[in-house]
Structure 1
Amino acid sequence: MVKADALLKVMARAWKLAPIDLDSTRVDFDLVRHWPGELYLEQNWVPVHDQSNGSVLVATARVPDAERASAIANVLESPVEFVAATSWDIRRTVLRGFRAEIDGDASTDRWRTNPSLSARVVLSKAQVTGGILGGLALLALAIAWPAALGAAVVTIAGAAYAGTTTFMLVLAVRGGTRRSAPPVAAQRQPDEVLPFYTVLVPVFRQAHAVPGMIASLSRLDYPVDRLEVLVLVEEEDRLTRDAIVRAEAPERFRIVSVPGGAPETRPRACNVGLFAARGEFLVVYGAEHEPAPDQLRRAIDTFAGGAADLVCVQASVDYSNAQRNTVTRLIALEQSAWAERVLPGIERSRLAVPAGGTSNHFRTTALIELGGWDPYNVSESVDLGIRASAVGYRVSPMDSITVERAAASVPALIRQRSRWLKGDLQTAFVHARQPVALIRRVGIARFLGTALLVVASPAVFLAVIPFYLLIAIALAVPGDVVATVVPAWALQAGIVLFVAGTIEMIVTAIGPVKQKVRGAATLCLLLPVYWILHSVAAYKALGQLFTRPHYWEKTDREPAPVLPATA
């Protein structure tokens, strides 16, 4: 690929213009901000400063023919003189000039335009009022009729647990009955017809992951002149920025500085990247992810084979360290059940497919139409999937794999799952604020199914520890003592429902899987213990929801070996 400085010299010579280095030239940003940044990005020019002869110096990355010169002069309402600049220099100048506006849009645009769909506030006033009244009612019932309340709580909780796990089992059965043809290679389209693609890679304090990131993304089988990789680096994160500079990444890798501010989350960084992106299609990867080399081409083929309402396709996840220890094997088993059975069942049931956090490929125009990501939601892609469904768009799985490394320790697992579950709770509370409006858009059946899907994980895992304690109490405490709080029939019914639901969860995890998990049958017997860890994560998530709702809990992963990159 031609180096940027060499390309600039060629452009300047061909257009008979002087080249300009916008980093070392005085740019009048007050002048720049007179017109929309989107205009400059779309048309590939930017005003530099006024000149003493009354004209405006304009940097352009396209040939300034008479038509273009006239159009730009009309916008600026002034004579213009041109200098040549690269597209990236122009975009970087626009990012610098509109830094405050971009930061504001990335952080608070959703809150300003539609606060009811923003997770910036955990609970609305109506939800707080309802919670207080409900709590007071429960307190009154506990004082007046403790045994009756205990019976109601245990049986309702058991029924809800069993009902939720039954729902997940039904989805798994529906997904598992789908005939799965062996994967075939995507038909290879000529390079010249492929659309421009943007890869967003949000990073934060991940200097150690930079060599692997550059190597894995350099292996993408996509024409380099139709691909850009925007590495989104927080302004304060000098170590990661310096590591990228030292690595001397290929020209298609560009650093985008994310302005310092709150919340310090991945979706906020991605919103900044969305402003800078110029691809017709866009994908988000993590710094430690290794997508299949042909994944971008497969995504294009999947979009081409789908209807116009298909706005996002997502690759499956495989774990390179799945056999590392019992924790990683359980994670791999769980992911296999989700990808091979539950997710296809969700799609077949026409529910809102919850997008994964990364390896999501979007039509960029649709993503912009949806308003990008909610920066305050720590499971931002789940929320985005519901918003897409609400306006008639679809999210669908695609036949491709992205490899990453699973959390390999109990503390790392709890940190990761607590963030996921906190995001599920945020999403549930956000979309419960205007349920009637959502029902009108998607219908009652899809609303109930999607609501149950979002609430399923936190609700089930919040119930695990209490029911385990209930079983222990039933075994250790005399029945007449327990009966003063929970009648025997209610206790037995609740435990039976819990055990039945637990068996259903185990059955959901069993079935044909693409990622062969060694000893899957034996691992299934460990799932009840594994769910205790999820229950701990769920209570941590519930606590953080009200104390640190927008805190982004990073997952610590073992570093992956760096494989050689290809040009």
Structure 2
Amino acid sequence: MALDAESEALGDLLLDRGALTADQLDEAEALCAEWNVGLFDVLQSRRWVSADEIYRQLAFYHDLPLLDLTGDRPDEALIREYDAQQMTNAMLLPVRRQPSGRLLVAAARPGPQVVLAMRRIFGAEVDLAVASGFDISLALQRAFRERQSHRAVFGLAEADPLMSAQRVATLPQMVILYALATVLLAGFALAPIATLIALNVVMTIFYTGNFAFKTLLVWVGGAAQDRSSRAIAAEAALLRDEDLPVYTVLVPMFREPEVLPILTRALRELDYPLAKLDIKIVLEESDDSTIEAARSLGLEGVFEIVLVPASHPQTKPKACNYALQYARGEFLVIFDAEDKPEPDQLKKVLATFRQQGEKTACVQCRLNYYNAGENWLTRMFTLDYSLWFDLMLPGLERLGVPIPLGGTSNHFRMDVLRDLGAWDPFNVTEDADLGIRLTQKGYRVGVIDSTTFEEANVSIPNWIRQRSRWIKGYMQTFLVHTRRPVNLIRTVGPAGLLGFVFFIGGTFLSGLLNPLFWAIFAVWLASGGSLIEPVFPPALLYLSLFNLLAGNGLLIYLTMVAPFRRRWTHLAPWGISVVGYWVLMTIASYKALSQLISNPFYWEKTQHGLSSHTAAELAAAKADGEAAA
């Protein structure tokens, strides 16, 4: 493909001024043809030329003035007269009214399409100038700060209050909980033995169902995965770079300056044209250390820092909601700061969207850990994730059961995500909630065989902080989606309802109930069964023993076989020690319950960069960054 006139002229100007070498220009022109983009976009994806120089030559080519919006601050009241999303999409900004009455508008990419957008947004009486895209974006963020911050926090709660976790429990839910507690206490007072038997029956049946459901998921999820994975990989290989859409990557971070180079290296290694990535590094405006670290890296122009205004709750979903308002892609993915996605992940996701049609609104990729063998906790965490993402989530997909998304590597159709109101900032496990909400709205969530590797927690206190937040979010999600039980059954079906109860409810209920059953087992061992015999009729006793021996044994077995799909057989023997991991889950569950009551929206920060592997990753990332610069 021949270069357009602007690209050709811009390349000649930069070459004549010594800003580009002939070899760099040749490489850039080849990428223009391969990616089907202009020279400006290619240069934004490289660090050969400073942004200031690119915009200077762009203004010179179009014979337009170059504005410095940091020194010459635009009129924020004037900016707020126009639509923020339209200006973001076109990278246009009204600067001020001139004495002539005409409007001075700054553009990051002047050209025929931008002129048409400018006239559509601002009318015909305008004068055009050039300003950097970073300055325009920053000015838009300043002008719409309060409005967009409010929308990020309260957008879902105002549009659909019952779908928001802003209220922990509604009045009907409180009445039901109060009635159940009253019935239980009255039962203990009037017929304690019968009440204990009834309660025992309910809990035992729940455990049996939980075991059976998880076994079914593993059995179903393990079937026919290889065939679908090969089909997706084959279609992904056929995708041409020139046909790929713009893809937004959101990376919410908080107090994590140490892992920034690892993240940026991983994003550069994606098998996707860097010029077609719209990367938003989403930072809290008070996080000075990470902001400074991001700015000091001298990142390519495709990386943009979005500063989230301070407000409550201070959560990852609120930050993502805020940054979403500046996203320009047709598709969107979230990566955490320490993530290392497999290079072909974005192409595999696009192939999945094409294969499965418009009803598939989200694709969940698998998560696992690159420091699995560091200590006992990282091994157990890896076994846990292998069982969850490699076997259980594919099982949910095949059964048509609502899928609680993981916290990262979720890929969305942008239009659907915006229509749904995006994430709930009051839910501390926001993606699990969004996965259920997508299903209730009639969309599908796909699960594909592409892995994003993360840093597994090496510290038990740090792990408990992270896991208790996840479990608290599952409790919030369960409360939110049971507010309209008839609607839940109608939208997800009976099988979906059972899956929701066992997969969402079972995750936290098993952690809460485990100590009770452990205590009963201890009493049984100590007393020879005489103390518990009145509340364990023979049939119930046999079922409980089945749960104890077969059920727990089966879960231990599933934990041991979970890493076999990845051929990590050296981890299998560690599955025997999963009971210790369940004890930690119980501690996290009770911490989650106490916080749900006392501090429901508090986001417990997980500290990253503790692994001994991180130092090696950081050194490699810095070396790559210096070479690229």
**Which residue in the other structure is 2:18 paired with?**
none
Q: 2:600 aligns with which of 544, 549, 552?
A: 549
SS in 2 for 1:511: helix
Deviations 1:318-359 (A, max 9, x none): 211111111111111121122222122111101122221101
In the alignment, does 2:560 pair up with 1:496? no
Cα distance in structure 2, aligned partners of 1:477 and 1:244? 63
Q: 1:68 to 1:231 in 2, by over 3 A?
A: closer
SS in 1 for 2:237: coil
Q: 1:115 to 1:223 in 2, by over 3 A?
A: same
% same residue: 36
The AA in structure 2 aligned to 1:147 is I
Cα distance in structure 2, aligned partners of 1:77 and 1:232? 33
SS in 1 for 2:325: helix
**Which residue in the other structure is 1:93 paired with?**
139
CA shift for structure 1 position 284:
0.6
Cα distance in structure 1, aligned partners of 2:121 and 2:378? 58
In the alignment, does 2:69 pair up with 1:19? no
CA shift for structure 1 position 494:
6.4
- Residues 353, 395 of structure 1: 8 Å contact kept: yes
Cα distance in structure 2, aligned partners of 1:153 and 1:401? 42
**Which residue in the other structure is 1:128 paired with?**
174
CA shift for structure 1 position 62:
4.1
Cα distance in structure 2, aligned partners of 1:554 and 1:9? 42
CA shift for structure 1 position 388:
0.9
**Which residue in the other structure is 1:465 paired with?**
515
Q: 1:489 to 1:515 in 2, by over 3 A?
A: same
Structure 1 segment 78-117 matched on structure 2, within 5 A: 79-117=125-163
- Residues 318, 515 of structure 1: 8 Å contact kept: no
CA shift for structure 1 position 527:
1.5
Structure 1 segment 234-313 matched on structure 2, within 5 A: 234-313=284-363
CA shift for structure 1 position 488:
6.0
- Residues 163, 501 of structure 1: 8 Å contact kept: no
Cα distance in structure 2, aligned partners of 1:229 and 1:452? 37
In the alignment, does 2:82 pair up with 1:35? yes
CA shift for structure 1 position 518:
4.2
Q: 5+ unaligned residues in a row in structure 2: which ranges?
A: 1-42, 45-49
CA shift for structure 1 position 92:
2.4
Q: 1:60 to 1:326 in 2, by over 3 A?
A: same
**Which residue in the other structure is 2:590 paired with?**
539
SS in 1 for 2:561: coil
- Residues 559, 572 of structure 2: 8 Å contact kept: no
Q: 1:387 aligns with which of 437, 446, 457?
A: 437
- Residues 334, 409 of structure 2: 8 Å contact kept: yes
Structure 1 segment 44-443 matched on structure 2, within 5 A: 44-63=91-110, 72=118, 75-76=121-122, 79-181=125-227, 184=233, 186-443=236-493
Cα distance in structure 2, aligned partners of 1:70 and 1:191? 27
Deviations 1:82-127 (A, max 9, x none): 1112334322221111001111111111111111000111101111
- Residues 560, 573 of structure 2: 8 Å contact kept: no
Deviations 1:289-342 (A, max 9, x none): 111122222222222222111121122122111111111111111211222221
Cα distance in structure 2, aligned partners of 1:364 and 1:209? 27
Comparing 174-183 with 30-39, greater Cα deviation is found at 174-183
Cα distance in structure 1, aligned partners of 2:120 and 2:159? 32
- Residues 560, 574 of structure 2: 8 Å contact kept: no
CA shift for structure 1 position 506:
2.1
Q: 1:543 to 1:490 in 2, by over 3 A?
A: farther
Cα distance in structure 2, aligned partners of 1:177 and 1:225? 38
CA shift for structure 1 position 188:
4.9
Q: 1:137 to 1:50 in 2, by over 3 A?
A: same
Cα distance in structure 2, aligned partners of 1:192 and 1:393? 29
Q: 1:64 to 1:348 in 2, by over 3 A?
A: closer
Comparing 284-293 with 514-523, greater Cα deviation is found at 514-523
- Residues 155, 494 of structure 1: 8 Å contact kept: no
SS in 2 for 1:35: coil
Comparing 334-343 with 183-192, greater Cα deviation is found at 183-192
CA shift for structure 1 position 489:
4.4
In the alignment, does 2:520 pair up with 1:474? no
CA shift for structure 1 position 71:
6.8
CA shift for structure 1 position 180:
1.8
CA shift for structure 1 position 24:
2.0
Cα distance in structure 1, aligned partners of 2:114 and 2:285? 35
The AA in structure 2 aligned to 1:517 is W
Q: 1:413 to 1:490 in 2, by over 3 A?
A: farther
Cα distance in structure 2, aligned partners of 1:397 and 1:354? 11
Cα distance in structure 2, aligned partners of 1:436 and 1:88? 48
Cα distance in structure 1, aligned partners of 2:539 and 2:193? 10
The AA in structure 1 aligned to 2:406 is G
Cα distance in structure 2, aligned partners of 1:308 and 1:458? 33
**If each structure's helix is expressed as a fraction of its own residues, which one has the higher value?**
2
- Given the two structures, how large is their TM-score scaled by the length of structure 2? 0.85
SS in 1 for 2:99: coil
- Residues 313, 395 of structure 1: 8 Å contact kept: yes
The AA in structure 2 aligned to 1:279 is G
Comparing 348-357 with 35-44, greater Cα deviation is found at 35-44
Comparing 92-101 with 511-520, greater Cα deviation is found at 511-520
Cα distance in structure 2, aligned partners of 1:417 and 1:516? 26
Deviations 1:358-388 (A, max 9, x none): 0111111111111111111111111111111
The AA in structure 2 aligned to 1:426 is Q
Instruction: Name the count of aligned residue pairs.
Output: 565
**Which residue in the other structure is 2:504 paired with?**
454
Q: 1:64 to 1:220 in 2, by over 3 A?
A: closer
CA shift for structure 1 position 449:
2.4
CA shift for structure 1 position 533:
1.1
Q: 1:249 to 1:47 in 2, by over 3 A?
A: same
The AA in structure 2 aligned to 1:496 is L
- Given the two structures, how large is their TM-score scaled by the length of structure 1? 0.94
In the alignment, does 2:568 pair up with 1:522? no
CA shift for structure 1 position 495:
3.6
Cα distance in structure 2, aligned partners of 1:4 and 1:534? 49
Cα distance in structure 2, aligned partners of 1:121 and 1:447? 22
Cα distance in structure 1, aligned partners of 2:539 and 2:607? 43
Cα distance in structure 2, aligned partners of 1:56 and 1:404? 49
Cα distance in structure 2, aligned partners of 1:483 and 1:345? 39
The AA in structure 2 aligned to 1:103 is S
SS in 1 for 2:282: strand
CA shift for structure 1 position 490:
7.9
Comparing 243-252 with 441-450, greater Cα deviation is found at 441-450
Cα distance in structure 1, aligned partners of 2:578 and 2:559? 9
Cα distance in structure 1, aligned partners of 2:109 and 2:265? 31
- Residues 151, 490 of structure 1: 8 Å contact kept: no
SS in 1 for 2:206: helix
The AA in structure 1 aligned to 2:53 is A
Cα distance in structure 1, aligned partners of 2:455 and 2:516? 32
